[in-house]
Amino acid sequence: MSSATKKKHVTEEVLNHYDLPQHNQLIVKVIAGRGNNLHEVVTPDGDNYLVSMPPKFRKWIWIKRGDYLIVDPIEEGNKVKAEITSILLKDQIKYIKDEGKWPPEFEDKNSTDEDINSDQLFRNTNHRDQDIDDSSSSSESDEEDNEEEADDEEEEEDKPSQDSD
């Protein structure tokens, strides 16, 4: 099979297949990419482990932090405990929710389909959420210290020098 044909079939599978998870499959959320086609995921129970991407997806599909996957558990795995069987897109997630198979732990409590939070509109999901310290307060105090030092130097220059002759 040529690479163009393979890409067409993989794309067709990812975009148009609306499969529900089977009895042994899990829906997981991607936490981070670990390299070598491994991704760290979290289960609805809160367990973290690695999953592998099968060769058919490797050149054609990219997974980012926050995406949802359907995985098949691997019995013999120590670190890598599952293999990706499906990458879930927005329409597929909606279908699974409509069928009542979506884990309640992954429900988004902040927004609905009709209401889009404007703060989340331009959020880059490829970066982890970080608490940003308010550095402006420390820089303001540094500026005040520098101004006080400059004032002290000016006062010393203004004082007449008392030289004894």
Residue 110 near residue 99 (C-beta atoms within 8 A)? no
Residue 26 near residue 39 (C-beta atoms within 8 A)? no
Q: Does residue 83 have a pLDDT over 70?
A: yes
For the chain, which residues make up each domain, given as ranges? 3-103
Task: Determine how β-strand 80-88 pairs with β-strand 48-52.
Answer: parallel
The per-residue pLDDT for 18 is 72
Per-residue pLDDT tens digits for 41-55:
999 999 999 999 988
3-state secondary structure of 31: strand
- CATH hierarchy code of domain 3-103: 2.40.50.140
Q: Assign 3-class secondary structure to 35-91.
A: ECCEEEEECCCCCEEEEECCHHHHCCCCCCCCCEEEEEECCCCCCEEEEEEEEECHH
Distance CA 29, CA 40 (A): 9
Residues contacting 106, CB < 8 A, separation 6+: 27, 29, 44, 68
Q: Does residue 33 have a pLDDT over 50?
A: yes
Residue 94 near residue 114 (C-beta atoms within 8 A)? no
DSSP secondary structure letters along 126-152: TS---PPP-HHHHHHHHHHHHHHHHHH
Q: Does residue 67 have a pLDDT over 70?
A: yes
Tokens of 152: 């002290």
Tokens of 118: 């404007």
Looking at residues 52-78, what average pLDDT do you find?
87
Using alpha carbons, list the distances in angstroms from residue 157 to 92, 150, 152. Answer: 75, 11, 9
